[in-house]
Structure 1
């Protein structure tokens, strides 16, 4: 059999390539004669650069940057072999995983570190920078990113504002024109939320980043004001910025990209095209995908839904491996999912410590599940 293994990350435990490696190891224990094709995936969130590096000819360039609280961290740029495109990832500098739970406060976290990565990509001489958006700890509308590009928000007296979303309530202009050297910017994301309002960045994603209800209202008002500043200050900024689809991605980082004249593109669509996922699905007998939590949101444009839909359209079975499964069986089947298997159930479920064991030993659990599946599915 020809098995296509194309998982997303298991957030907080394994990267997509690590998930794929565990599945490969388990499958080979039971069915060593099968052909295994590995295509790790990402929708633009954590692991975006690592996944692309497995398929895009080029080199990874380390870049020293800062986390959402200004502490030094390591990031990188993936530069294509022809030198035309640079790929960067917001989660490397703005990721929620970089902060302890008691450090999460979107009123003061900044996207400056992502701006440093973008600036490094621009200075490398590329003509296009693709920014994977997702998993961020910020809600500053990309104000920090702009500051790293020489366009920091300032108050009415011309003084630079402190970092963080709350300070944008006093935004009145930008310190200068952004230094992007005419490079094309692309935001890779599968989030289509606007910047503000009930479905905006603050209301939908603020609470998971540490925002209280009062914080959400403050941050939404701050982003509304900042959107007006960007429209007045940047000729490249489209009108009605706060309401544009994708502007609310990653705490409003999508809005900054749009204001700089860039555009949003489907993250999973971009990755699938670069790794030629369609051809890999076409040639497969069975497709295995997965993610940390397979729930109702998974069926709304995320990696697993895209893979399952492609398999369904070709009449192929698609098996989902996940840390936890809570999506409805009928909904999953309609999306193209043939079977689901969870690490929590594999390790005994609750109240027997299934969640804790799944988090502690995800690779072991995936190997065991894959070995069992190979015994069931392999010819």
Structure 2
């Protein structure tokens, strides 16, 4: 039997590649003669660069020194494939770069993404695809703009401090972004607008350390900053309400304001990894992520894989840390059945502490159930 194993990361516990390896190891213990094809995936968040590097073997991977959301040195990368460069924003802005007590979207910044984008510009990229997801920031891309040469300024013309809270005092941008006419593309499957009840701050701010009071403060600051972004000649009308503007704490809005566009992250990865052909050649597809919930049904990795499997007439099994999505809704996008590590272990703590063990054991069980 040919089994395609193509999970996303299990956020905070195990990478997509390690999850695929663990599940496959368990399956092979039971059915060593089966053909397991491993294709770790990402919809733009952590792992985006690794997945594309594996899918584009002729591309050049360039190491670029940069900074994390609190300004500390980290190593980032730019993947260059012809005239297109790929950047994973989480390498500079990721929540995984911070300890839990350091999470504070009022002060974290997207500045570190700037050196990665500028490095892509310097090597001559005409299109720069930026994977958005897993961010620790809520600054509307203000840090990125500062790194590109268009720093947010207050009424007196002084540069603002980094972080989302300072944007309440933003009056203008000081300078023009240094992009040399390169086009930016935001690869994301977050369709949230920038502001309001369904915006970047209200939906994702609490995951990044924002209190209830912080949410109101930061949303107000982004409301003011959105008006400044709209002064850029390349900014589209009604910027704050566009789908994807709220991705990665408002990084989507900055990219749109710079004349960029939003593209489905899993759609792009499906195309570059030739995933649909792999699905059609398989007898079973196994995908997964940390939490299979309602957000998963709206365009994330699991939804993209399940929909492609449904269209190809191939059964699709989801393995996840926990499963909160309804069976009927999951079946509608092509999920045949789903299994949770929390149920397997009987404990959230155990599921988070031993994801690889759980995935191996689920691989063994599903091999006995599904293999011909």
- TM value normalised by structure 2: 0.96
Structure 1 partner of 2:158: 159
Structure 1 partner of 2:300: 302
Alpha-carbon distance between aligned partners in 1 of 2:182 and 2:318, rounded to the nearest angstrom: 39
Structure 2 partner of 1:214: 213
Alpha-carbon distance between aligned partners in 1 of 2:167 and 2:123, rounded to the nearest angstrom: 31
Alpha-carbon distance between aligned partners in 1 of 2:14 and 2:114, rounded to the nearest angstrom: 26
Structure 1 partner of 2:252: 254
Alpha-carbon distance between aligned partners in 2 of 1:129 and 1:59, rounded to the nearest angstrom: 14
SS of match in other structure, 2:230: helix
Structure 2: state its 5+ residue gaps: none
SS of match in other structure, 2:237: coil
Structure 1 partner of 2:285: 287
Alpha-carbon distance between aligned partners in 2 of 1:219 and 1:355, rounded to the nearest angstrom: 31
Alpha-carbon distance between aligned partners in 2 of 1:148 and 1:292, rounded to the nearest angstrom: 33
Alpha-carbon distance between aligned partners in 2 of 1:326 and 1:199, rounded to the nearest angstrom: 20
Alpha-carbon distance between aligned partners in 2 of 1:273 and 1:334, rounded to the nearest angstrom: 23
Structure 1 partner of 2:338: 340
SS of match in other structure, 1:137: coil
Structure 2 partner of 1:59: 60
Structure 1 partner of 2:275: 277
Deviation at 1:331, TM superposition (A): 2.3
Alpha-carbon distance between aligned partners in 2 of 1:160 and 1:66, rounded to the nearest angstrom: 19
Structure 2 partner of 1:68: 69
Structure 2 partner of 1:100: 99
Deviation at 1:113, TM superposition (A): 0.6
Structure 1 residue 226 and structure 2 residue 225: aligned? yes
Deviation at 1:35, TM superposition (A): 1.6
Give the alignment of 1:117-266 within 5 angstroms.
117-232=116-231, 234-266=232-264
Q: Deviations over 1:31-88 (max 9, x none)?
A: 12222222211111111111111111312221111111111112111112x3x11111
Structure 1 residue 371 and structure 2 residue 372: aligned? no
Aligned residues: 371
Deviation at 1:228, TM superposition (A): 1.3
* Counterpart pick for 2:350 among 332, 352, 357: 357
SS of match in other structure, 2:137: coil
Deviation at 1:214, TM superposition (A): 2.2
Alpha-carbon distance between aligned partners in 1 of 2:206 and 2:51, rounded to the nearest angstrom: 28
SS of match in other structure, 1:88: strand
Q: Deviations over 1:115-169 (max 9, x none)?
A: 1211111112211110000111111110000011011111122111100111111
Alpha-carbon distance between aligned partners in 2 of 1:192 and 1:326, rounded to the nearest angstrom: 20
Deviation at 1:297, TM superposition (A): 2.0
Structure 1: state its 5+ residue gaps: none
Deviation at 1:313, TM superposition (A): 2.0
Alpha-carbon distance between aligned partners in 2 of 1:314 and 1:268, rounded to the nearest angstrom: 17
Deviation at 1:6, TM superposition (A): 0.9
Alpha-carbon distance between aligned partners in 1 of 2:360 and 2:101, rounded to the nearest angstrom: 34
Deviation at 1:242, TM superposition (A): 1.3
SS of match in other structure, 1:4: strand
Alpha-carbon distance between aligned partners in 2 of 1:243 and 1:184, rounded to the nearest angstrom: 21
Alpha-carbon distance between aligned partners in 2 of 1:334 and 1:181, rounded to the nearest angstrom: 45
Alpha-carbon distance between aligned partners in 2 of 1:164 and 1:222, rounded to the nearest angstrom: 10
Alpha-carbon distance between aligned partners in 1 of 2:340 and 2:14, rounded to the nearest angstrom: 15
Runs of 4 or more, structure 1, over 6 Å off, are none
> In angstroms, what is the RMSD of aligned CA positions?
1.3
SS of match in other structure, 1:112: coil
Q: Deviations over 1:216-251 (max 9, x none)?
A: 22211211111111222x211112211111111110
